[in-house]
Amino acid sequence: MDAMKKFVQKDAFARHIGVEVLEHGKGTARARMEIGNNHLNSAGMVHGGAIFSLADAVFSIASNSHGTLAVAINVSISFFKAATGGTLFAEAEEVSINPKLATYLITVTDDAGNKIALFQGTVYRKKDSIADIVK
């Protein structure tokens, strides 16, 4: 199995909260999360932390897709619409990349195509090889 596939499978927190990765490539990734009772907050809506974590999972895959370790240094997320059930989707797009830093936009939508949140995240790119990390 290639290093990136192993990297995706090793994300224990993403698995714990039900993130299912649909596809990934250089600088991109797409995932879904079926909403269950465990994802809800005190007001019965999908928890901001669950939405962020879904987006963060594809952010991690997209930013680590170039073969070396990327660590998140800053994220800003705007929430547009409360979600209460169904399935949420997150898709990452690479906005900018240089040897040290890279920035991604991740859009979270519901199954009707409504925008739920927009996540803008920046990573610091280290030298460590992903192949070594997943060994």
Q: Which parts of this chain interact with a copy of itself (CB under 8 A)?
A: 7-8, 10-14, 16-17, 37-45, 47-50, 52-54, 56-57, 59-60, 64, 69, 71-82, 95-96, 98, 100-101, 103, 105, 115, 118, 120, 122, 124, 133-134
| Minimum separation from the CB atom of position 131 to a copy of itself (A) | 12
Nearer to a copy of itself, 76 or 112 (CB): 76
- Other residues' Cβ atoms within 10 Å of the Cβ of residue 40: 16
d(CA 54, CA 44): 18
Residue number with CB closer to a copy of itself (1 or 76): 76
Q: How far apart are CA 92 and CA 105, in angstroms?
A: 6
DSSP secondary structure, 48-83, as one string: HHHHHHHHHHHHHHHHTTTSEEEEEEEEEEEE-S--
Beta pairing, strands 101-110 & 115-129: antiparallel
Q: Measured from the CB of residue 50, what is the shortest distance to a copy of itself in angstroms?
A: 5
Minimum CB distance to a copy of itself, residue 41 (Å): 6
